[in-house]
């Protein structure tokens, strides 16, 4: 597996990471723990060094899973986790767009979350600690300052932001250098190209795209007739209504045509497209199956030429993606 550096931070990771959320949260019922431990360890053996989790996934159970699976391999991996949601009594992290938990990025809360995450992850240091969503009630300078103190104490190595807007990124970076921004970015969500990507390039910050396969849609395995379990959070997403899926099939068809020509799968083309955008972009597709993991990792070997990329961009520009990516309540938490 090729390696990439996240901006100027010096943090080097596998070119494709692994998003762990779906193993225990959001995409139907939690998967079998022992099977997921085996999958995580298989990922390391296949060259993956970058693993993404968060306290809110579960809550807590995903960090515990990642911690147990990777503890014997800790010196070979980079673990990223997140703070910023209230996970105490009365919060509803499982809502994910139906009944979101409150935000809490007070410095004392950040430090408490770090201590708890360290225990669940069975580690002495968090490699990359993201603010999960920007908290409008806490100045970002205070957030960055709290993480800086954790870095000085040796409990965190790098500071990250998730779904933050340009001004927030600049203000945070001025207090504590931001190693990476995690935000949704894919062939069907390209808004980061407008202002965020140029800012990251200017400041030397890496980008970690989540949902690089459009929450599964860009794999070509989902169509208008697909049904989701009631506890699959895609049931709450406007972009996943049957009507939107039917309208958005044109994008999947485009990717499929390129994939056939390249003797690759649609998922591999979608990931290869991301890798071709910038050398400091590291997507983190999630999966719960070894076959899909191997397929995703194969994207690193798919080379898209300049002509391929121009063709994709020209064709994609003719396709108007239908449906908001999140309900309004959740979209309001992004881009601040």
Model pLDDT for residues 180-205, shown as the tens digit of each residue: 999 999 999 999 999 999 999 999 99
pLDDT tens for each residue of 55-64: 999 999 999 9
User: Total structural domains in the chain?
Assistant: 1
- Does 88 score more than 80 pLDDT? no
Domain extent, residue 205, equals 3-331
pLDDT tens for each residue of 122-162: 999 999 999 999 999 999 999 999 999 999 999 999 999 99
pTM confidence score = 0.96
Q: What is the DSSP letter of 303?
A: P
pLDDT for 5 equals 98
The mean-pLDDT minimum among 92-106, 226-240, 305-319 falls in 92-106
User: Residue 336 domain-assigned?
Assistant: no
User: Residue 161 domain-assigned?
Assistant: yes
Q: Which residues are catalytic?
A: 57
User: Residue 261 domain-assigned?
Assistant: yes
pLDDT bracket for residue 54 (50, 70, 90): very high
User: Residue 295 domain-assigned?
Assistant: yes
User: Residue 72 domain-assigned?
Assistant: yes
pLDDT bracket for residue 96 (50, 70, 90): very low
Is the model more confident about 327 or about 88? 327
Query: How far, CA to CA in Å, does 201 sit from each of 171, 174, 206?
Result: 16, 15, 8
User: Residue 126 domain-assigned?
Assistant: yes
pLDDT for 93 equals 44
CB under 8 Å to 53, separation ≥6 — which residues?
20, 21, 62, 63, 65, 66, 79, 80, 81, 82, 121
CB under 8 Å to 293, separation ≥6 — which residues?
18, 39, 42, 43, 46, 48, 287
pLDDT tens for each residue of 98-119: 455 799 999 999 999 999 999 9
- Does 89 score more than 70 pLDDT? no
pLDDT for 97 equals 43
Q: How far is CA 212 from the centre of its chain?
A: 8
pLDDT tens for each residue of 11-26: 999 999 999 999 999 9
What CATH number is attached to the domain comprising 326? 3.20.20.100
User: Residue 301 domain-assigned?
Assistant: yes
């Amino acid at each position: 597996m090729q390696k990439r550096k996240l901006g100027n931070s010096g943090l080097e990771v596998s070119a494709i990471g692994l998003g762990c959320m779906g193993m225990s949260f959001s995409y139907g019922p939690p998967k079998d723990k022992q099977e997921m431990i085996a999958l995580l360890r298989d990922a390391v053996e296949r060259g993956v060094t970058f693993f993404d989790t968060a306290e809110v996934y579960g809550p807590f159970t995903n960090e515990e899973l990642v911690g147990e699976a990777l503890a014997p391999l800790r010196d070979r991996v980079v673990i990223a986790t997140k703070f910023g949601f209230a996970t105490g009594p009365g919060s509803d992290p499982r809502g994910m767009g139906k009944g979101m938990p409150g935000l809490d990025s007070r410095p004392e809360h950040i430090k408490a979350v770090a201590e708890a995450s360290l225990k669940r992850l069975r580690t002495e240091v968090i490699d990359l600690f993201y603010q999960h969503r920007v908290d409008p009630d806490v100045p970002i300078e205070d957030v960055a300052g709290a993480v800086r103190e954790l870095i000085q104490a040796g409990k965190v190595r790098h500071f990250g932001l998730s779904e933050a807007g340009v001004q927030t990124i600049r203000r945070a970076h001025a207090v504590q250098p931001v190693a990476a921004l995690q935000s949704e970015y894919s062939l069907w969500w390209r808004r980061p190209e407008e202002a965020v990507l140029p800012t990251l390039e200017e400041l030397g910050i890496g980008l970690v795209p989540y949902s690089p396969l459009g929450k599964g849609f860009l794999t070509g395995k989902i169509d208008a007739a697909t049904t989701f379990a009631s506890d699959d959070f895609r049931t709450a997403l406007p972009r996943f209504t049957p009507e939107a899926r039917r309208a958005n099939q044109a994008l999947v068809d485009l990717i499929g045509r390129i994939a056939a020509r390249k003797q690759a799968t649609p998922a591999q083309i979608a990931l290869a497209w991301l890798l071709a955008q910038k050398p400091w972009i590291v997507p983190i597709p999630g999966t719960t199956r070894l076959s899909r993991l191997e397929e995703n990792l194969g994207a690193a070997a798919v080379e898209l030429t300049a002509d391929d990329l121009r063709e994709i961009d020209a064709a994609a520009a003719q396709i108007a993606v239908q449906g908001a990516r999140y309900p309004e309540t959740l979209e309001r938490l992004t881009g601040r």
